[in-house]
Amino acid sequence: MRIGILVNPARFGGHPQAAALLHEAVERLLAQGAAVRVGASVASGAGWPDLAAPDPALVEDSDLLIVLGGDGTILSSARLAGGRVPILAVNTGGFGFLAELPLGELPDAVAEITSARLAIDERTMLEAEIVGEAGVRERSLALNDMVVSKAGLTRVVRVTTWVNGEHLSTYPADGVIVATPTGSTAYSLSAGGPIVHPQVDVIVITPICPHTFTARPVVVSGDATIAVETAGATEDVRLNVDGQESHPLSQGERVVIRRAALRTRLVRLGSRSFYGVLRTKLGWGER
């Protein structure tokens, strides 16, 4: 098995035992006969210059990608992988909603990782196109969400949304979130959207701070095509992708969002369940 290990150096450096745990995991993987490559930014400092590889090569040349970081690292890795390689997400950050296990459990999980009997959880991704008079000028891929919003000054925009070509709504707001089921527990949840199980085939449309009491989140079919256009405060309106990429929108441009053909493939170990994650991460059942 060819295994790539992609590491967020900032998160990695903040973990008190990160170096020792990663070293133990790599040694166990090598002992199991795995071909291991490690992100160049960490490999050199860890004394593995012969294992170093740039992040794109980790995706292209691996059967499994182990990602060490927080949820942000997992999101960026999912876009980089583009469904081509399964991801085992290891939390070295804070919330770690998307992670399968904490870094401290990685060495003991090596035998299961190399067993070739891994369970794969496929997650819906979204693709967005920025469309203007000249056609499509930008395409993006997201695991969590696409957000059209106004940056800078706190002036609202008029957000118009269509579903499959039919006008759904127009309202003054700070923007709109179009989220996958995976993204339903991220920004959309903070804006009042529903929690959706990752295996439900839907897309969630959530307005951000709408200036009307009648605006509510809407759940549409997973094969729907959603278009969003803004008017009003036209300066610095942007499409934000997973909270990590940002593309400015010009007057008259429209963002067209649909389910991507690619799906993120997350490795699952043991009996970890979505409902168990909700209880643990959201503190449900605590006084």
Positions marked active-site:
71
Query: 63 is written with which tokens?
Result: 């059967």
| Cα radius of gyration rounded to whole Å, the chain | 20
Name, in order, each residue with C-beta under 8 angstroms of 36's C-beta and a sequence gap of 6 or more: 3, 4, 5, 26, 29, 30, 51
Q: How far apart are CA 3 and CA 7, in angstroms?
A: 13
Query: Quick one: which of 162, 153, 200, 158 has its CA closest to 175?
Result: 158
**What is the dihedral sign for C-alpha 263, 188, 127, 63?**
negative
**What is the dihedral sign for C-alpha 59, 60, 62, 63?**
positive
Name, in order, each residue with C-beta under 8 angstroms of 182's C-beta and a sequence gap of 6 or more: 98, 123, 124, 143, 144, 198, 264
At CA 131, angle to CA 127 and CA 133, rounded to 5? 165
Q: How far apart are CA 281 and CA 263, in angstroms?
A: 24
